[in-house]
Amino acid sequence: MTAYDDMTTPADAPHPRAVVFDVDGTLVDTNYLHAVTWWEALRQAGHHVAMTDVHRTIGMPSGGLLDRLLGPDRDRDEDDALSAAHKTLYATWFDRLPAHNGAAALLRALADRDWRVVLATSAQGSELSALRRALDADDAIRAATSADDVEAGKPAPDPVEQALAEADVPPARALFVGDTVWDVKAARAAGVDCVALLCGGIGRAELEEAGAVAVYRDPADLLASLDDSPFARLDGS
């Protein structure tokens, strides 16, 4: 049993709230690592795709990512090999994944305020373990959902809905924190307001246009602004 398995909401908090966090790019500084390793996997297979185009697909499941980069009419027999090559290249960074400034402190601050903290990520197995080691905040995390738990990844609402099911909290009592347009769209489709962070490399205007209710620089900025953020709307209610 891990630290989050036996976390409960205090008896004096009858209306539980949940915060669902994306991980890559939001809590851990990995978006550009994913971009360069996908770029290299594609290059090795003879596909020459601009790095900026790769970056803008990060946060989608591999099938959606390849649809956007190579087109839906591509040879799908390559998909498994491309995904495996990306995973192999990315795994070389597992022991060096850097958490964003303030990430662990933000998770603990929200847990201390009786928010149920759930991770919603497409990472699986050893990759998810590496991300959690980088965060070093399992004591604040109630649960984590991965691609294994859902039929469709972001921008579909499935990851957010599964995370809310893990938290046993309805959409009106939850917030989502992410860093990509796909995160915002997934949250909105699940009926959850999304607070967006700029640390994944996507601009404020795009995140707001997608529907983010507030935008902050990084986890540390959100932590410093909690009392004036969308979290304050649900605090104490």
In the chain, domain spans: 17-29+97-234, 31-92
Q: Tell whether domain 31-92 is in CATH 1.10.150.
A: yes
Assigned CATH for 17-29+97-234: 3.40.50.1000
State residue 99 phi and psi, 5-degree precision.
-70, 145
pLDDT at 11 over 50: no
Q: In whole angstroms, what is the distance from residue 156 CA to residue 150 CA? A: 10
For residue 184, what are the CA distances in angstroms to 105, 113, 187, 207, 211? 23, 24, 5, 7, 6
SS3 content of the chain, % helix, strand, coil (to 5): 50, 15, 35
What is the pLDDT at residue 14? 52
State residue 173 phi and psi, 5-degree precision.
-105, 20
Taking residues 68-82, report their average pLDDT: 94
Q: What is the average pLDDT value for the chain, to the nearest integer?
A: 91
pLDDT at 32 over 60: yes
pLDDT digits (tens, 9 = 90+) for 186-215: 999 999 999 999 999 999 999 999 999 999
Taking residues 81-90, report their average pLDDT: 97
pLDDT at 6 over 80: no
pLDDT at 12 over 70: no
What is the pLDDT at residue 236? 58
> Does the pTM of the predicted model rise above 0.75?
yes
pLDDT digits (tens, 9 = 90+) for 115-162: 999 999 888 889 999 999 999 999 999 999 887 777 878 899 999 999
Helix and strand tally (H, E) in the chain? 11, 6
What is the pLDDT at residue 160? 95
Give the DSSP letter of residue 100. Answer: P
What is the pLDDT at residue 178? 97
- How many beta carbons lie within 10 A of that of residue 133, not counting itself? 14
